[in-house]
Structures are given as structure tokens and as C-alpha cells.
Structure 1
Amino acid sequence: MHGQTSTSLRWRRLLLAASLSLAWSLAAAGQSADTPANPPMPMDQMAMPGMSRELKPQAAHDAMPATEHSAMPSMDHPSTTPTKDTRSPDYADGIGRGTMPGMDMLDHQPLGMLKIDQLEFTDGRYTNGRAWEVEGWYGNDSDKLWLRSEGDAEHGRIEEGQVEALWSHAVAAFWNTQLGVRQDVGEGPHRSWAAFGIQGLAPYWFELEATGYLGPSGRTAVRFRAEYELLFTQRLILQPEFELNLYGSDDPASHVGSGLSDSQLGLRLRYEVSRQFAPYIGIVWIHRHGATANYARLDGQPSMDRQFVAGVHIWF
């Protein structure tokens, strides 16, 4: 009995403590809800400095000064109609519309040049003499008049020579077609030929020339020439030159056979004292072929010859 009584008292005490705790929590929550966190402050705007203003919209509008538009000066707009003194928009400083002065290109201005490519003395195994090769032109970049001549002389007489007059027309940046006439001079027959060909600068700076000739009685001829300039320095230059001559038929009067007639290979080393004047020395190999070699033997000349040369190179 005593044990049951102790247990009953313990439970009663726990229930009483829980009831008191719950009642205390509810009372505290009710007091917190009734009291505001931040009580409102009185906002008497009329008492604040600078905020006392009576709003009267109609009176404020009537107090504004009226704008007198008639007192504003009038704006004069100039007339847009052009007068007789008005300049064109393409006119400035008294210079009419056109190309800019001083900027004209000179590609069509005619120019000229005379070049004595070879004026030399020759010393061969059997003959000694003089030789020349001259050319000149006048015109613009598109069209030129070419004059050229070459030949050799012995004992004060012209042994063999040629003079050509050609019209040159540019067909590409480095190539020209040529059309004209050729006249043979010297101790042989003075034959006339119509000439046509092409001349230009090939890749790697090879100067090439190929010319065909048509003469009386159905005579034909072809000449091919190639040159190159090898610069050891800006003034010391080696110039190889190769030439071939072919004929369509025998010409006993000129001592020329049909087919490949002759070939030449020359090496000339020049020193340019100036760009316009250069002395040179060199060596030339001459080889006559076929019937032309037979004609040379009948004249007491070898079919092959080697010549030392010395001369000057001049251009104006």
C-alpha cells in the first residue's frame, strides 16, 4: 500500500508541474500579441520645417508671366534656288572635273633608246676583223619602231651585214610581236626579206628572240637567239649568247645551204664603268653546218672557228 501511495503522489506532482508550465506559456504569448513591436510615431507634416506649403494650382498657373510670341524676331531662310555664281559640287579651287594634275601616268609617253650592244675587234684562227651589233627603238610601251643591224667587216670592207626595220607591238607584259623588213648588205647579194617574229623576256630572265623571214623566189629563213646576264657584282657581268640560223633552200650566191646553216655561242665579260659604258672581252665559237660548211671550205675557211673578241658596250 505504501508503494502505491508513493507512485500516485509522484504522478500528481508531474501533472501539476506540466499544467503550470503550459499556463505560463499561454499567458506570455497573449501579452506579446497585444503589445506592438514599434509603436507608431506621430507624423505632423505641418510641424516639420520646410514642409509647410499650401498647394493652389490655379493660382500658381495664373502667376506665370505670359510669353509674347510677337516679340520674337523672325528667322529668314535663304533661298535654295542656285544662282549663276553657284559652283558645281565637282568644282574646287578653279580646277574642273578631270584627272588630278601631276598624276598622269607616263605609259603612253614616247621614249627612245640607242644601244651599241657589240662594237668589237675579232681575232680568229684564220681571219681578223671587226663586228658590230646595234639596235635602237622609239615609241611607247605598246608600240615601238625598232631599228637593228649586225655584221662583220675585214680589211675595211663589209663581208656580211643585215639591217632591219620593225614595228613592235606589246601582246603581254614582257612579250612583243614584230613585223617589218630586212635588207642584206655586204659582198654577197643584196636580198630583201619580209620579217615577222616575237621577242621577249622568258622566266628566269632569259631574253629570247625568234624571227622568220620570207624573201623573193620563195626563200625562207629563221633565226633564233637567246641571251642571259649573269651578275658577279653590280658592275662585273658575264653575258652568254646563243644563235641559230636556218634556211629553207640552198643559195649558192650567198654561200648558204638549206637546213641548219650555222650556230654561234659567245661569252662576253664586261665591266660597267657606268651604266652607259662598259668595255668587255670574250670568246666566240662559230660552227657552220651542212652545205654551208662545204661552201666555207671552198672559200678557204674552216667549218669551225674560235674567235677572241674585245670591244665596248654603249647605250644612250
Structure 2
Amino acid sequence: MNIMRHRIATLAAALALATTTAHAQQPHRHDTPAPEPAPKTAPTVDHSAMNHSTMDHSTMDHSVMEHGDMKHGGMDHGGMDHAAMDHAKHETDAAQAPRTPIPPITDADRAAARAPAHGHDHGDRVVGTLLFDRFEAWNDHGGGQAWEAQGWIGTDAHKLWLRSEGEREDGRTAAADIELLYGRPLARWWDVVAGVRHETRPGPARTAAALGVIGVAPYKFEVEATGYLDASGRLSAQVEAEYDVLLTNRLILQPLIEAEWHARDDRDRGIGAGLSTIEAGVRLRYEITRRFAPYVGIVHERSFGDTADLRRDEGEAAEDTRVVAGLRFWF
């Protein structure tokens, strides 16, 4: 009997264990809510090792950029190490920076860049030129010839000038002079000159001391102004200005004006005190070469004051207009 009871208890325990195991292995019912999956954690990107200079931004999908939490295509910039980023802009700036530092400007550099005070650049080299600005003739009133020439030789700091001007009428010399002058730079484009002039006109020849300036005024007017004092104490002055107007590269129009002034009468030469004469002309030249140019022009001369009266007393006209033709050349 006891053995029977023990077997029945053992069978019941085995049945209960089988029932429990079968229930545990049954699938879940559909009405039982499934557990939520664990949130996916974005992989941590180590931007400290990223080289943005080689990053191809053209292939990045910016459509998924979420500006609220700074996510670019799933890239979490919250943990980005900006201190170690290698930006392309920094590399560009470094490439454009000069490899050799520019040295500071010194006083010697400034002195070398400064133009000479007198406007020339020959230094101590000796150079020279001779220009016949006017070498002309006319047929009006018996005809005549005139010339005006000047030349110089020397350096930028020291020049020896030679000037000559004169006229011939009816086969005789109406006026002629020659000047020998020493020149020094006075300012940019200007020289001061001093020397002597020997003058030949009807009557006795005269020699006078000369002092003046030669240069280029604003707007490129070439100016010569000279004062003279002879042995008799006669003081006079002469001023000449001319300007070149380029009509073409070779066709040039040259207006010119010249005035003479005397401190006192010189009746032996028909000159009165004050402003004696003004000569104004315009010449049109064609430069076959820069050194050789024929020209035509018209010249008007007028006397003033006592000079005009003395000329009338001698049977001469107080003013005169003539058409001229000539050559301009230099070497």
C-alpha cells in the first residue's frame, strides 16, 4: 500500500512539471503588447581626427540637416572637437601668406625712389644737344630770314648753354645776338643760367651780363626769361614762351610769344623805354623724323610806346605780319 502511494505521488509530480514546461513554451498572444526596442544610439564620431580640408561637401546630404540639434545627415556635432579641426580656410590663408617676410622700407629705399629735384636722370654723364627751333624765311616786304637756336652740354648739375637769335632784312642784319651761359638746377624742370650776351644791331655792338631761368611751366609751357645789364647801365629783359599741341603723332602746332622790355631809351637802336615789342606767331610742323621737321606759319610783330614812335620817325611800320616757312631740326 505504501509503495502504491509513493508511485502515485511521483506520477502526479511528473505531470505537473510537464504541464508547466508546455505552458512556458507557448507563443505570446497578440493582445499582449510587445516590449519597445531599445533606442539606437548614434555612433560617436571622433571629429578630432577628421581632416575637413579633404572632406567632399558636395556629396553630403544636407537635406537631412536638423538645425535644432545640429545634426548634419546623422552627424552629431554635439561632441565635435572644434579646437582640433583642420579647416580648409586656414590652409588657404597659410598658402597665400608670403613665405619670405617683406623687409621694412629704409631711408635708402626712399631716396632711390625719389625723382631728381631738377627733373633729369642722366646723373654725372656728360650729354648735349643743339636745337634750331626756328630757321625760316619770308617774302613779304622785300623778304628776310630769321633763326633761333640753343644748345647745351654738361651733366644734370652743371650745363654750358649756347643761345643765338637774329634776323636779316633786305640783305642786311637787322639784329643778332649770341649768349654763353652757365646753368644749374633751380627746381624740378627749371635751371638758373648766368653768363654774357654779345649783341649786334645797327649802331655799336653791345656786351651785357645775363641772368635768367629756363624751364617748363605748368601745362608744359616752355619758358625762357632773362635779364641783361650792359656796361652803360642799360637794363633790359626778354621773355619767351611756347607750347606744342599734338594734332597727330607727327603733325604739331606750336604757338609762341616773345616780349622785350627796356628800362630806358636807346635811340641809337630805335628802342624806347618800357615795353618795346611783342612778337606772336603760330607754326604748324610735320615731323618727318623727330629730328627733322619742315613747317609753315604766320607771325605778327607790334611795337609799343616810344619804340613805335621812333620807328614811325624812321619811316618804318609800327606793326608787321608775315607768312613764314622753315625747318626745325636738332642733333
Question: TM-score, with normalisation over the residues of structure 1?
Answer: 0.65
Query: Aligned residue for 1:227?
Result: 242
> Is the 1:177–1:197 Cα contact (8 Å) retained in structure 2?
yes
Cα RMSD of the aligned pairs, angstroms, is: 1.2
Paired with 1:228 and 1:106, the residues of 2 have a C-alpha distance of 25
Aligned with residue 113 of structure 1, among 108, 123, 129 = 129
Q: Which amino acid aligns with 1:288?
A: S
Query: Aligned residue for 1:197?
Result: 212
Aligned with residue 298 of structure 1, among 279, 294, 313 = 313
Deviations 1:256-285 (A, max 9, x none): 000000001010000000011000000001
Aligned with residue 282 of structure 1, among 297, 303, 317 = 297
- The number of residue pairs the alignment matches comes to 211
Query: Aligned residue for 2:322?
Result: 307
Q: CA deviation at 1:157?
A: 2.2
Deviations 1:195-234 (A, max 9, x none): 0011111111011111111112210001111110000011
Paired with 2:320 and 2:122, the residues of 1 have a C-alpha distance of 47
> Is the 1:160–1:188 Cα contact (8 Å) retained in structure 2?
no
Paired with 2:254 and 2:267, the residues of 1 have a C-alpha distance of 34
Query: Aligned residue for 2:201?
Result: 186
Q: Structure 2 matches for 1:25-44, cutoff 5 A?
A: none
Q: CA deviation at 1:187?
A: 2.6
The 10-residue stretch of structure 1 (277-286 or 188-197) with the greater mean CA deviation from structure 2: 188-197
Q: CA deviation at 1:142?
A: 1.4
Paired with 1:299 and 1:270, the residues of 2 have a C-alpha distance of 36
> Are 1:264 and 2:245 counterparts?
no
Q: CA deviation at 1:122?
A: 2.2
Q: Structure 2 matches for 1:4-153, cutoff 5 A?
A: 106-124=122-140, 126-153=141-168
Q: CA deviation at 1:134?
A: 1.0
Q: Structure 2 matches for 1:209-248, cutoff 5 A?
A: 209-248=224-263
Structure 2: unaligned runs, 5 residues or longer:
1-120
Q: CA deviation at 1:158?
A: 1.3
- Find the structure with the greater CA-based Rg: 1
- SS of the residue corresponding to residue 217 of structure 1 reads coil
Q: Which amino acid aligns with 2:135?
A: L
Q: Which amino acid aligns with 1:137?
A: W
Question: TM-score, with normalisation over the residues of structure 2?
Answer: 0.62
Structure 1: unaligned runs, 5 residues or longer:
1-104
- Runs of 4+ aligned residues of structure 1 deviating over 3 Å after TM superposition are none
Q: CA deviation at 1:127?
A: 4.0
Paired with 1:106 and 1:243, the residues of 2 have a C-alpha distance of 31
Paired with 1:201 and 1:122, the residues of 2 have a C-alpha distance of 30
| Cα 1:106–1:284 shift into 2, 3 Å | closer
